């Protein structure tokens, strides 16, 4: 990867829901978050790694969150909202954006781990502040505008076995 050196301060922001559903729908597998974090940092100085999760009160949810913490992620949780009529909603888009903007002065590179095109504006804002922005996601489920706006796009489809584990 061009423009990378070991002294860059890197912050990693992981949209867990986006990645989970991409891996499940594309490969029927789960994400290897340990390998993901290692690839995102790429031998640079990690300042923060944040995993944004939605609590849905499912079995093993607590174990998953704890596993993320052991890998080195700070885990931010938000409860799944249920609306009258049964509709459910849970996303961290605003939280991720606010955290990234607030941390911009303390990082050289932001790694956004998501395929959600809504983050294109965040990418452009961070770049205007002098932050290099890398997007890491499964290319088949990543918005074109997000890929094109990033300084570097890491397509997890190109080495899917590195980023996936079997769902057993």
Predicted local distance difference test score (pLDDT) of residue 84: 73
Residue 13 near residue 111 (C-beta atoms within 8 A) = yes
Spatial contact of 4 and 42, defined as CB atoms under 8 Å apart: yes
More confident residue, 79 or 18: 18
Is the pLDDT score of 1 beyond 90? no
pLDDT single digits (tens) 114-167:
999 999 999 999 999 999 999 999 999 999 999 999 999 999 999 999 999 986
> Of 10 and 168, which is predicted with more confidence?
10
pTM of the model: 0.93
Could you state, in order of their start, the residue ranges of all structural domains in the chain?
A: 9-165
Tell me how far CA of residue 142 lies from CA of 34, 55, 132, 134, in angstroms: 21, 24, 19, 13
Residue 30's alpha-carbon distances to 7, 97, 123, in angstroms, are 31, 25, 26
Q: What is the pLDDT of residues 25-83, one digit of tens each?
A: 999 999 999 999 999 999 999 999 999 999 887 788 889 999 999 999 999 999 876 76
Query: What kind of fold does domain 9-165 have according to CATH?
Result: Rossmann fold (3.40.50)
Max distance between CA atoms of the chain, in angstroms, equals: 52
């Amino acid at each position: 990867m061009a423009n990378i050196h070991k002294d860059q301060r890197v912050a990693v922001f992981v949209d867990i829901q986006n990645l989970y559903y991409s891996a499940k729908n594309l490969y029927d597998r789960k994400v290897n978050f340990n390998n993901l974090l290692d690839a995102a940092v790429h031998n640079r100085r990690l300042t923060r790694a944040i995993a944004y999760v939605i609590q849905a009160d499912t079995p093993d949810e607590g174990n998953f969150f704890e596993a993320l913490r052991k890998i080195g992620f700070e885990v931010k949780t938000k409860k799944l909202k249920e609306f009258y009529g049964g509709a459910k909603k849970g996303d961290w888009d605003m939280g991720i954006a606010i955290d990234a903007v607030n941390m911009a002065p303390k990082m050289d590179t932001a790694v956004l781990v998501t395929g959600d095109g809504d983050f294109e504006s965040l990418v452009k804002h961070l770049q205007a502040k002098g932050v290099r922005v890398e997007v890491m996601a499964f290319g088949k489920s990543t918005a074109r505008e997000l890929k094109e706006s990033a300084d570097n796009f890491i397509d997890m489809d190109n080495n899917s076995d590195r980023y996936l584990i079997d769902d057993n």
